[in-house]
Amino acid sequence: MQMPRIEIVEDNVTSQQKASILDALLTYNNAMARHTVYVEFAIVLRHPESGDVIGGLYGLTDHGWSFVKLLVVPEAYRGLGLGRRLMAEAEAIARRHESEGLWLETFDFQARPFYEKLGFQLFGELEAGEKAHGQFFLKKRF
């Protein structure tokens, strides 16, 4: 058998390249693991006048846990409880998919205290450095 050729792509990674890598991983995972439900979900915030998407939450359920990949509330709308409502909806979705819980990652300049107020607990950390922000991994088990 011939060895595969390695190609390095540092800029302009295509959606096809990413999808092909993900498909290969999911094929292996689905054959080897239990709890292979893979569901993406989004909860969007729409501008009250234009209806444009201005923020929201994107996540996925995979291998028994749900992951909050993206969460943003525009600065003009912070402090109104929208972040709490988005997270409550994500938790409801995770429970419907019978997840063990929710997990997420956040940087030292983002919202760690917010997540801890919602019951999330730290389970991992990448320390800040000269060229890197600290990164925290939090989970909330149901």
What pLDDT, in 10s, does the model give residues 9-29? 998 999 999 999 999 998 898
Mean of per-residue pLDDT scores for the chain: 95
Q: What is the value of pTM for the model shown?
A: 0.84
Please state the domain extents for the chain. 34-141
Q: Is the dihedral of CA 96, 102, 105, 110 positive or negative?
A: positive
- For the segment 34-92, what is each residue's pLDDT rounded down to a tens digit? 767 789 999 999 999 999 999 999 999 988 999 999 999 999 999 999 999 999 999 99
Burial group, residue 5, by CB count within 10 angstroms (0-12, 13-18, 19+): exposed
CB 134 within 8 A of CB 108: yes
Query: What whole-number distance in Å separates Cα of residue 21 and Cα of residue 17?
Result: 6
DSSP codes, 86-127 = HHHHHHHHHHHTT-SEEEEEEETTS-HHHHHHTT-EEEEEE-
What CATH class is the domain 34-141? alpha beta
The pLDDT of residue 35 = 67
Structure confidence at residue 30 (pLDDT) = 82
Nearest C-alpha neighbor of 118 from the set 96, 102, 134, 105: 102
